[in-house]
Amino acid sequence: MSGSTTDSAPEDEQSGSPETVEPSAQAGDEKVAAVRRVSEAGRRWRAAQLAGCAALLAVALTGGSIAFGALRDGGTATVASSSAAVSPGLMASGDLDAGIRAIQAHLRDQPKDFGSWATLGLAYVEQARTKGDPSRYPQAEQALKRSLELAPDNEQALSGRAALAAARHEFKSALSYADRVLKENPYSERALSSRIDALVELGRYAEASKAADLADERRPGIPVFTRYAYVHELRGDARTARTVLERALSTATTPGDIAYVASALGQLAWNQGDYDTALTDYARALAADDAYLPALEGRARAQAASGDRAAAIKGMEAVVARYPLPGPLVALGELYEDRGADGDKAKAQDQYALVDAWTALARANGVNADLDTALAAADHGDKAAALRAARAEWARRHTVHTADALAWALHVNGRDREALPYARQATATGYRNASFLYHRGIIELATGDRKEGRSHLGSALKLNPGFSPLGAREARKALKEASE
């Protein structure tokens, strides 16, 4: 970041016109559409060919994102001391694309408004998250960099840097940026929230719990409540988590906040095998925002777990048509495999191959995608690649999720005794996750521990009997065989 303010924009920002900054309705949708076109190609090509295509696609999209997203500054305006004209609250209006367009228009008139540059950067991060489009991240980085050039160390841009680092899975950097903000403003809601996120994702759960308590004391509100709830869920306290989330939902007023909190409630209910409650929660979320990705995906998962496979497939197909992300792609592939109709096996393989397209795009835009690779490839791809990715992620951070991913990657590579300590670590905090219990049970059976294996497989199916179309089926089969 620059330590001084200049009267002219960097050279690469002076070429072109402000009209190139309308990506929310044009360039961003084109990028998501491009991944969907790769999806169509996947129906014509086999997985190996598609993977190579994905890498080329990612590079092309990265260049395009910068070209479309860079805001140009003519260099004639004075530095704005604040962002009075454009409030970050605009981002909570429920229409993120409209908010971004408004900020872009404002910055064409006031290109030295560092606060609006920071708000734009944060909006791009949110847009990447909600649209599943990692090509937004270079745009966010440019906007936040510009804000810091205009006003070094301004709080909003540093908070944006923390959010961007977390989105790219650079959690140590996210924690560092959050701490810088909190040193100057101990009551920054965004920094308090980012700090909790970073500590959780680094596996520093005791510190995350203390950070959540502190944030709740200093800035109680929806961002803090949802994180406070998740910290409790990780400790196995789902009851407190739900109570806190219900309180958060009762205070939510914007469509975005309502959809966000209600979806978190739905995910919590689904994790506990309460599918009726999950479907009710997701309905609340979609009543507020009918395009909210986590609610659409969660509803499809809950429908599948409830036995309504046709609705689940239809819903998940709609999700991946708009948001071709690893989670829903794998879920749809497994739903196809579970159905087993003519052509479903090929359809499933196409979904798994397309995970490569997303991970290549994510990596090209600065996102660490090793955990996504490990989880998808272990069951549906290159098992050796899954293990390499899981080891790389474990080297960066020790969480229950990375422990589970490494345990399972070791298992599918025939290294069960090495896998078992990681499977135990994944379940050590009390976090109630049926997939983790299933993985541990299978690994225990493979090491000859039938008693513990049966126990953990039974616990997985009791907790969430529909946790995965294929995994739950395999768990029931393994439990039956181990009990004979």
Question: Which amino acid, residue 233?
Answer: E
What per-residue confidence (pLDDT) applies to 272?
A: 97
What per-residue confidence (pLDDT) applies to 50?
A: 38
Both tokens assigned to 393: 């992620």
Over residues 323-349, mean pLDDT: 95
Percent of the chain past pLDDT 90, that is, above it, reads 71
Over residues 348-371, mean pLDDT: 89
CATH fit for domain 369-484, picks 3.10.129.10, 3.30.465.10, 1.25.40.10, 3.30.70.20: 1.25.40.10
pLDDT at 362 over 50: yes
The C-alpha atoms of residue 330 and residue 390 are separated, in whole angstroms, by 17
Residue 246 has a CB neighbour count (10 Å cut-off) of: 15
CA 126 to chain centre: 11
**Domain positions in the chain:** 1-152, 369-484
Q: Model pTM?
A: 0.80
Q: Which residue would you say has higher pLDDT here, 414 or 25?
A: 414
- Which of 10-14, 318-322, 378-382, 418-422 is most confident? 418-422
Beta bridge partners of 113: 80
Both tokens assigned to 131: 């649209």
Over residues 425-443, mean pLDDT: 98
Mean residue pLDDT of the chain comes to: 84
What per-residue confidence (pLDDT) applies to 368?
A: 87
Which of these, 444, 451, 415, lies nearest to 427 by C-alpha position? Answer: 444
The C-alpha atoms of residue 46 and residue 23 are separated, in whole angstroms, by 32
For residue 76, name the pLDDT band (cuts at 50, 70, 90).
very low
Question: Which amino acid, residue 111?
Answer: P
Burial environment of residue 56 by CB neighbours within 10 A (0 to 12, 13 to 18, 19 or more): exposed
Helix axes 309-322, 326-339, angle to 10 degrees: 150
Over residues 226-248, mean pLDDT: 97
What per-residue confidence (pLDDT) applies to 282?
A: 99
The C-alpha atoms of residue 135 and residue 57 are separated, in whole angstroms, by 11
Cβ atoms of 147 and 114 closer than 8 Å:
yes
For the ranges 4-18, 90-104, 280-294, 383-397, which has the lowest average pLDDT? 4-18
pLDDT at 248 over 80: yes
The C-alpha atoms of residue 179 and residue 219 are separated, in whole angstroms, by 16
Q: CB under 8 Å, gap of 24 or more: what pairs does 440-446 form?
A: 440/407, 441/475, 441/478, 441/479, 442/411, 442/474, 442/475, 442/478, 443/407, 443/408, 443/411, 443/416, 443/419, 444/420, 445/478, 445/482, 446/411, 446/416
